[in-house]
Amino acid sequence: MVNLLFFGRLGDFAADVPASIEASTPAQIRELLAADFPALGAELHEPQVLVSVNQMIVSWNQKLAEGSEVAFLPPVTGG
């Protein structure tokens, strides 16, 4: 199992998502979540969304280890 975190507006779409999931890559997590939470899945498929594993930005195909922390980061703006 890996632990899930959703930041910014993604947290609004992930209100009912379990805190952990069984998956081997962030891309697999995205597909599993899209099946049960279509609005969240659409947001996660936006090209600006980044994924981090254990606080490091990684590719969507990064292999996950048991107990990894996977965070989804929406685009941010400032000014």
Q: What is the pLDDT of residues 17-60, one digit of tens each?
A: 999 999 999 999 999 999 999 999 999 999 999 999 999 999 99
| Number of domains, the chain | 1
Cα atoms in the 13 Å half-sphere on the side-chain side of 41? 12
Q: What is the pLDDT of residues 43-53, one digit of tens each?
A: 999 999 999 99
Residue 49: CATH number of its domain: 3.10.20.30
77, pLDDT greater than 70? no
The answer as to whether 23 is a domain residue is: yes
The answer as to whether 40 is a domain residue is: yes
The answer as to whether 78 is a domain residue is: no
pTM of this structure: 0.92
Domain span at residue 32? 2-73
The answer as to whether 65 is a domain residue is: yes
The answer as to whether 52 is a domain residue is: yes
DSSP code string of the chain: -EEEEE-TTHHHHTTTS-SEE--SSHHHHHHHHHHH-HHHHHHHTSTT-EEEETTEEE-TT----TT-EEEEE------
Is residue 25 within 8 A of residue 66, CB to CB? The reply is no
